[in-house]
């Protein structure tokens, strides 16, 4: 990977956008339309500044910093508008399994009393997700690709193998339903019935079920954990200051699709009215700077100090268009 890669790719995407109706949906979606697929309601793009500003009273050597950046999803198109990178900063985009991306910044030396920047400005076009027209023929997949297997089993704070989670899945599975879509909706209703929205410290999905309280993270984690016990792939979608789950079903042609729901807040099942940018999708990431998998890809900074002062790295994620 090189620092030019993201620019080249964005230029290609912009060219494709000009050839599509509205310049949005054709970037990530096939042109055909099935009744089992979600559809999208295009919204105005927002502009975001994302990056690192490093101010240091002492000389810093061997600076390494990483921060996540948004990327394209079926409901989202990301276009790089500008970049401000202070020489001799080097940077590249690191792609992680599951589609997440980080910018990796390396600086040989930053002199005392100076400020260094690596800031990128993006236009992010996020669409509302509308539910499929036909859900009766959607089914739980029998075989999973390697990519989809990422969204099964345990993840940090999603203890799908815990006894309480297994019992909850069994309770849901014993309810009558007409099809697999209704089965997933039963999981959704179960979580919203059993857990009252309460803000607090992050805890395991099983603990939220035991306590009967949790915020959007715990409610999302519990939904994901129960789904995985029922062999339904599911994952966390991260947006600024919030998260919600997606689940995966196959249509009658054996093609898989992801469907969203709002675990905490206004009831939304199979649709999503959120237009805040998707930051990441997933809940079990392996990054080189961490020894164990992480639930969410956060910012990272390290350097060798040459003095007694402390460098002040400021990570930026700011909407700039109001």
d(C-alpha 246, C-alpha 257), whole Å: 10
What tokens appear for 101 in the block? 């991306």
Closest CA to 282 of 105, 95, 13, 135: 95
What tokens appear for 222 in the block? 């519990």
d(C-alpha 295, C-alpha 236), whole Å: 9
Q: What is the CATH number of the domain that holds 211?
A: 3.10.620.30
| Domain shared by 140 and 123, yes or no | no
Q: pLDDT, tens digit, for every residue of 68-84?
A: 999 999 999 999 999 99
Q: What pLDDT does residue 27 have? A: 35
| Domain shared by 98 and 143, yes or no | no
Phi-psi region of 62 (alpha: psi -120 to 50; beta: other; left: phi over 0): left
| Domain shared by 253 and 150, yes or no | yes
User: Would you say residue 244 lies in a domain?
Assistant: yes
Q: What is the CATH number of the domain that holds 32?
A: 2.60.40
Q: For the chain, how long is the longest CA-to-CA vector?
A: 68
d(C-alpha 282, C-alpha 150), whole Å: 8
| Domain shared by 121 and 22, yes or no | yes
Q: pLDDT, tens digit, for every residue of 268-320?
A: 999 999 999 999 999 999 999 999 999 999 999 999 999 888 999 999 999 99
Q: Cα-atom radius of gyration of the chain, to the nearest Å? A: 21
Alpha helices in 2-156 (DSSP H): 5-18, 146-149
Structural domain count of the chain = 2
Residues paired with 95 in a beta bridge: 101
Q: What pLDDT does residue 37 have? A: 83
Q: 1 or 245, which is more confident?
A: 245
Q: What residue has token string 């793009």? A: 45
| Domain shared by 122 and 175, yes or no | no
User: Would you say residue 279 lies in a domain?
Assistant: no
| Domain shared by 102 and 147, yes or no | no
Write out the E strands in the chain: 39-41, 46-56, 59-69, 76-85, 90-95, 101-110, 114-126, 128-130, 196-197, 213-214, 234-239, 242-250, 256-260, 280-281, 300-306, 312-319
Which of the 8 DSSP states describes residue 142? S
User: Would you say residue 283 lies in a domain?
Assistant: no
Which of the 8 DSSP states describes residue 261? B
Are the CB atoms for 124 and 277 separated by under 8 Å?
yes
| Domain shared by 192 and 310, yes or no | no
User: Would you say residue 25 lies in a domain?
Assistant: yes
Q: pLDDT, tens digit, for every residue of 175-233?
A: 999 999 999 999 999 999 999 999 999 999 999 999 999 999 999 999 999 999 999 99
| Domain shared by 139 and 205, yes or no | yes
User: Would you say residue 234 lies in a domain?
Assistant: yes
Cis peptide before 129 (omega within 30 of 0): no
What tokens appear for 245 in the block? 């789950």
User: Would you say residue 198 lies in a domain?
Assistant: yes
The bridge status of strand 59-69 relative to strand 300-306 is antiparallel
| Domain shared by 182 and 304, yes or no | no
| Domain shared by 187 and 214, yes or no | yes
d(C-alpha 141, C-alpha 257), whole Å: 10
Mean pLDDT computed over 134-151: 96
pLDDT category of residue 36 using cuts at 50, 70 and 90? confident
Q: Is the pLDDT of residue 159 over 50?
A: yes
According to the 3-state scheme, what is the secondary structure of 179-215?
CHHHHHHHHHHHHHHHCEECCCCCCCHHHHHHHCEEC
User: Would you say residue 261 lies in a domain?
Assistant: yes
| Domain shared by 246 and 184, yes or no | yes
| Domain shared by 304 and 268, yes or no | no
What is the extent of the structural domain holding 99? 5-127+289-319
User: Would you say residue 282 lies in a domain?
Assistant: no
């Amino acid at each position: 990977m090189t620092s030019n890669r993201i620019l080249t790719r964005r230029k290609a995407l912009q060219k494709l956008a000009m050839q599509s109706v509205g310049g949005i949906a054709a970037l990530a979606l096939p042109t055909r339309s099935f009744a089992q697929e979600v559809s999208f309601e295009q919204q105005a793009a927002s502009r975001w500044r994302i990056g690192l500003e490093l101010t240091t009273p002492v000389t810093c050597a061997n600076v390494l910093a990483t921060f996540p950046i948004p990327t394209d999803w079926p409901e989202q198109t990301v276009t790089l508008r500008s970049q401000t990178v202070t020489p001799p900063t080097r940077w590249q985009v690191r792609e992680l399994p599951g589609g997440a991306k980080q910018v990796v910044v390396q600086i040989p030396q930053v002199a005392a009393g100076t400020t260094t920047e690596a800031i990128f400005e993006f236009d992010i076009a996020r669409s509302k997700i509308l539910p499929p027209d036909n859900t009766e023929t959607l089914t739980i997949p029998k075989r999973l690709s390697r990519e989809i297997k990422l969204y099964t089993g345990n993840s940090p704070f999603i203890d799908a193998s815990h006894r309480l989670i297994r019992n909850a899945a069994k309770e849901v599975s014993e309810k009558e339903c007409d099809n697999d879509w209704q089965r997933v909706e039963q999981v959704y209703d179960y979580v919203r019935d059993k857990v009252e929205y309460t803000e607090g410290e992050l805890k395991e999905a099983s603990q939220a079920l035991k306590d009967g309280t949790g915020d959007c993270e715990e409610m999302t984690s519990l939904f994901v954990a129960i789904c995985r016990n029922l062999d339904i792939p599911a994952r966390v979608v991260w947006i600024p200051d919030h998260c919600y789950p997606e689940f995966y079903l196959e249509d009658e042609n054996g093609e898989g699709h992801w469907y969203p729901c709002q675990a905490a807040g206004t009831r939304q099942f199979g649709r999503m009215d959120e237009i805040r940018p998707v930051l990441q999708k997933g809940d079990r990431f392996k990054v080189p700077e961490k020894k164990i998998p992480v639930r969410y890809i956060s910012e990272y900074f390290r350097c060798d100090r040459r003095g007694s002062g402390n460098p002040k790295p400021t990570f930026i994620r700011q909407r700039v268009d109001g």
